[in-house]
């Protein structure tokens, strides 16, 4: 009978180093290519656990093939793994050391981790378009910030900005077509769009998030967005609450913009002003309103119906 292994993989664009917890097998370096991964997976006992850090797109092939081969896969936050390594007293950082730390992390913490669920091709296409749109928006902002006020470039800057805006619009069109390939997400986006303050981009991001993996309750969705407050208490000290800021940063940015837009609507303005009346800053009040919008979106998705303003307490 083969023993189930706890494995960790440190992945880059060309190879990955895999190690087992307790050094039950020797670390090895494997090419990050389909044929080599499949050959390695044939030697791994079924039901084994594999952890790997999120690396943009480099980890996707290994995660997908390992999941298909029957392994329990965990895609981990790189910051968590690094802090775990520091807690273990690891002073150096190499591919082999990282793989061993990941394997140990999986061996001890797998019961508290969420297993990887591969996205469908349509979900992956939409997610990549959302990321690429965000990158274009960042580039446009950096371009304007770096060249604003520089003599002799005003006309060229306007032309470059206009071209970037057209490109962003084109990507948004591709996002809409990608969304239409996901019936459940498309319906969720239509319902989210009925929430005052939530526009096309916000509804698309919410719909993708809601349909990507199941959430047991709205608190789990809030935690995924990173909009949950993080306590900082110790003994008699009650520290200032700050946002956890876990999860996708672009999703959090889009949702915060929805909150700012909602604060200006007739429906949500009293709720926003009620938070301000408590002595909260405008940013804190908008974050609270944003969490409210996310909870409403969760309810709309759960019950598959559009927004009904008469059922929401806004005072």
Taking only the tens place, the pLDDT of each residue in 86-120 is: 999 988 889 999 999 999 999 999 999 999 999 99
pLDDT for the residue numbered 1? 41
Tell me whether residue 239 is exposed, middle or buried, using C-beta atoms within 10 angstroms of its C-beta: 0 to 12, 13 to 18, 19 or more.
exposed
Residue 144 banded pLDDT, cuts 50, 70, 90: very high
Residue 2 banded pLDDT, cuts 50, 70, 90: low
Question: Helical H runs in the chain?
Answer: 34-41, 60-68, 78-87, 95-109, 121-147, 154-180, 183-193, 200-212, 218-225, 249-262, 269-277, 282-303
In the chain, % of residues over pLDDT 70? 99
pLDDT for the residue numbered 314? 65
φ, ψ of residue 151 to 5 degrees: the values are -60, 140
pLDDT for the residue numbered 315? 61
Q: How is residue 64 written in tokens? A: 């997908």
Mean pLDDT of 119-144: 96
pLDDT for the residue numbered 26? 85
Mean pLDDT, the chain, whole residue set: 93
**Span 5-40, pLDDT tens digits:** 999 999 999 999 999 998 777 899 999 999 999 999
By DSSP bridging, strand 237-238 and strand 233-234 are: antiparallel
Any residues with CB less than 8 A from the CB of 95 and at least 6 apart, and which?
A: 10, 12, 17, 29
By DSSP bridging, strand 15-20 and strand 49-53 are: unpaired
pLDDT for the residue numbered 6? 94
Any residues with CB less than 8 A from the CB of 305 and at least 6 apart, and which?
A: 191
φ, ψ of residue 182 to 5 degrees: the values are -120, 90
Q: How far apart are CA 122 and CA 176, in angstroms?
A: 12
Query: Shortest CA distance to 29 belongs to which of 104, 96, 103?
Result: 96
Total-model pTM: 0.89
| Cα-based distances in Å from 2 to 7, 13, 45, 72 | 15, 31, 6, 16
Residue with tokens 């002595």: 279
Q: What secondary structure letter does DSSP report for 88?
A: T
């Amino acid at each position: 009978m083969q023993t189930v292994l706890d494995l960790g993989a440190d992945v880059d664009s060309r190879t990955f180093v895999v190690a087992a917890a307790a050094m039950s097998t020797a670390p090895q370096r494997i090419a990050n290519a389909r044929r080599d991964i499949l050959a390695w997976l044939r030697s791994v006992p079924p039901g084994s656990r594999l952890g790997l850090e999120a690396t943009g797109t480099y980890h996707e092939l290994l995660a997908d093939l390992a999941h298909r081969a029957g392994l329990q896969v965990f895609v981990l936050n790189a910051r968590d793994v690094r802090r775990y390594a520091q807690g273990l007293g690891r002073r150096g950082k190499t591919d082999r050391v990282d793989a061993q730390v990941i394997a140990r992390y999986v061996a001890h913490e797998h019961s508290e981790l969420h297993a990887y669920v591969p996205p469908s091709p349509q979900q992956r296409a939409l997610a990549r378009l959302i990321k690429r749109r965000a990158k274009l928006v960042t580039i446009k902002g950096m371009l304007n910030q770096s060249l604003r006020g520089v003599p002799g470039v005003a006309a060229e800057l306007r032309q470059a900005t206009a071209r970037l805006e057209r490109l962003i619009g084109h990507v948004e069109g591709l996002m809409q077509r990608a969304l239409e390939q996901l019936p459940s997400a498309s319906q969720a986006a239509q319902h989210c769009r009925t929430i005052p303050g939530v526009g096309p981009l916000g509804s698309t991001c919410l719909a993708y998030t809601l349909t990507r993996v199941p959430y047991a309750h709205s608190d789990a969705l809030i935690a995924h967005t990173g909009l949950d407050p993080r306590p900082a208490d110790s003994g008699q000290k009650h520290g200032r609450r700050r946002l956890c800021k876990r999860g996708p940063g672009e999703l959090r940015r889009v949702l915060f913009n929805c909150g700012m837009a909602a604060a200006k609507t007739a429906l949500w303005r009293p709720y926003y002003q009620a938070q301000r009346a408590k002595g909260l800053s405008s940013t804190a009040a908008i974050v609270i309103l944003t969490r409210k919008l996310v909870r409403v979106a969760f309810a709309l998705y759960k019950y598959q119906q559009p927004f009904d303003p008469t059922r929401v307490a806004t005072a």
